[in-house]
Amino acid sequence: MKITETIDIRFPKTLAEAVRLQASEKTRGKLLAGGTDLMVQWAAGVPIPKRAVSVWNLPELCAIEVFPDRIEIGAGVTHAFLRDAVQIHRHVPALIAAAATVGAKQIQARGTLGGNAANASPAGDTAPALLVTGGSVLLASVSGTREVPLAEFWTGYRQIAARADEIILAFRLPKKGKAQERFRKIGTRQAQAISKVMAASRILVEKGTIRSAAIALGSIAPTPVRLAEVEAFLAGKKLSPKLIDEAEKLAQATVQPIADIRSTAEYRRWASGRLVRDALENL
């Protein structure tokens, strides 16, 4: 018997049922969406939970809603579904680009936006693109729904701000409007790559001046991070080659990456600045 067969998995039919299960320590289980992270971790020897609660295909988690100023993407939406939801592509293009780099087709068909966020890997492909929207996460529990800014969502290495009784319901993401977005991932190869460094940005430029800049990086810290110092430095400045040089250097001075099997600390530090340059040069 394979190890995952020993897990007691519950299959709630509705969100209400799911949050009720999660409300009590006696019924609560590890939340399992598409399984593309958890099933792998369990097979690789990460201790398995006694119970799991499947939120795969939970109807309340699978919708995308478009509002005048924002879109709301259910946590259970898969990367493949995002790829096919062309009506939202222009509102969050960095996120769409990021989702397209998750694994390959097979993983995109099962991996969900909520699962990618909850897994909270520093290399989670969609996190930087979510961060630069300045949006929030909706967390559901028996006591209702609360909203947590994405900037406060990833609290530490593989840690998130959700309580044990909460389920990620959706992502509430302001549309980019006139701002420009960009996503770039430096991976270990051209497909199915885990990132060495990646960057997402949402920058609003008016008449040559940067009105606002949101830039986030992945794989360079215990959590995905916004580059607050670089963003503050850029705000209100005229876009120029000199500014780009300075932003690149500032980013390199700001980050504190580590070395691991996929890259070196020196390269990650350098590439962090280079990806900031890339974002600015492509405005």
Partner 1 sequence: MSTVQRTWKVNGKPVRVRAPAGRRLLDVLREDLGLIGSKESCGEGECGACTVIVDDEPVVSCILPVGQLADGTDILTIEGIEKKRIGRLIQAAFIECGAVQCGFCIPGMVVSSYALLAKNPKPSAKAIREGLSGNLCRCTGYTKILAAVKLAASRIPAAKRK
Partner 2 sequence: MTKRTSQSVRWVGQGMPRVDADGKVRGTTRYVNDVDYKGVLHGVVVRSPVARGILKGLVPDPAFDWSPIVLATAKDVPGENVVVMHDRTMPLIAEIGAEIRYRGEPVAVVAARTPELAAEAARRVRVEVEELPPLLTLQEAIAIFKATPEKLDSMKSQDIVKGDVATGFAAADEIVEAEYWAGHQEQLYLENQGLVVFPQKDGSILAEGSIQCPYFPVHELNDCLKLPPEKIRVRQTAIGGAFGGKEEYPTMLIGYAALPALKSGKPVKIAYERNEDILFTTKRHPVWVRYKTGVKKDGTLTAIECDFILDGGAYLTISDVVMFRGILHCAVAYRCENVTIRGKVARTNSFPCGAFRGFGAPQAIWGIESHVDAIAARLGRAPHEYRRQIHARPGDVTPTGQVLSKENGSTACLELALKRADFAKKLKQVSRGRLRKGQRKLYGVGLAFFAHGSAFTGDGEAKFKAKGRVELARLEGGKPVVDIRVSSTEMGQGVHTIFTQIAADALSLPPAHVRFPMADTGLVPNSGPTVASRTTMVVGNVVHRAAQDLKRQIEAFASLRFFQGAPAELRASQLVAPGAKPVPFAKVAKALLAEIGPASGFFQFELPADIRWDQATFKGDSYPGYSWSANVAEVEIDPLTCELEVKRVTAIVDVGRVINPTLAAGQVEGGLTQALGYAIMEKIGTGKNGLYDAARLQTYIIPTALDVPEYDVKFVEYPYSFAPPGGKGLGELPMDGLAPAIANAVEAATGRRLRQIPITPESIFAALHAPQGGTP
Please identify, using beta-carbon distances, which residue of 105 and 163 lies nearer to partner 1.
105
CB of 11 to partner 1, least distance (A): 6
Q: Pick from 86, 178, 191, 206: which binds partner 1 (CB under 8 A)?
A: 191
Site string for partner 1, 161-190 (x = CB under 8 A): -----------------------------x
Please identify, using beta-carbon distances, which residue of 32 and 239 lies nearer to partner 1.
32
Strands 180-187 and 195-206: what pairing?
A: antiparallel
- 7 contributes a contact to partner 1 by CB under 8 A: yes
In the structure encoding, which two tokens stand for residue 37, read together? 């992270």
Question: How far apart (Å, rounded) are the C-alpha atoms in residues 268 and 279?
Answer: 16
The alpha helices in 123-227, defined as continuous H runs, are 127-131
Site string for partner 1, 37-76 (x = CB under 8 A): --xx--xx-------x-x-xx-------------------
Please identify, using beta-carbon distances, which residue of 37 and 166 lies nearer to partner 2.
37
In the structure encoding, which two tokens stand for residue 2, read together? 């394979």
Indicate the angle between helix axes 241-254 and 265-281, nearest 10 degrees: 150
Please identify, using beta-carbon distances, which residue of 63 and 104 lies nearer to partner 1.
104
- 261 contributes a contact to partner 1 by CB under 8 A: no
Which does residue 222 bind out of partner 2, partner 1, none, counting CB within 5 to 8 angstroms by kind? Answer: none
Query: Contact positions toward partner 2, by CB under 8 A?
Result: 1-3, 40, 44, 104, 186, 188-194, 196, 245, 248-249, 252, 261-264, 266-267, 269-271, 273-275, 277-278
Question: How far apart (Å, rounded) are the C-alpha atoms in residues 117 and 55?
Answer: 14
CB of 132 to partner 2, least distance (A): 19
The alpha helices in 71-125, defined as continuous H runs, are 79-84, 93-99, 105-110, 113-119
Q: Pick from 16, 104, 142, 253: which binds partner 1 (CB under 8 A)?
A: 104
**71 by DSSP, 3-state: which?**
strand
Please identify, using beta-carbon distances, which residue of 36 and 116 lies nearer to partner 1.
36
Q: Pick from 6, 14, 159, 240: which binds partner 1 (CB under 8 A)?
A: 6
Q: For partner 1, which stretch binds (CB under 8 A), given 35-43, 88-96, 128-136, 220-228? A: 35-43
Across the strands, what pairs with 136?
Answer: 149, 172
CA atoms within 13 A on the CB side of 110: 14
Q: Give backbone dihedrals phi and psi of 274, rounded to 5 degrees, phi first.
A: -65, -35
CB of 264 to partner 2, least distance (A): 5
What is the secondary structure of 203-257 as a DSSP string? EEEETTEEEEEEEEEESSSSS-EE-HHHHHHHTTPBP-HHHHHHHHHHHHHH---
Q: Give backbone dihedrals phi and psi of 188, rounded to 5 degrees, phi first.
A: -80, -15
Can you give the binding site for partner 1, defined by CB under 8 A? 1-2, 4-11, 32, 35-36, 39-40, 43-44, 52, 54, 56-57, 80, 103-107, 109-110, 190-192
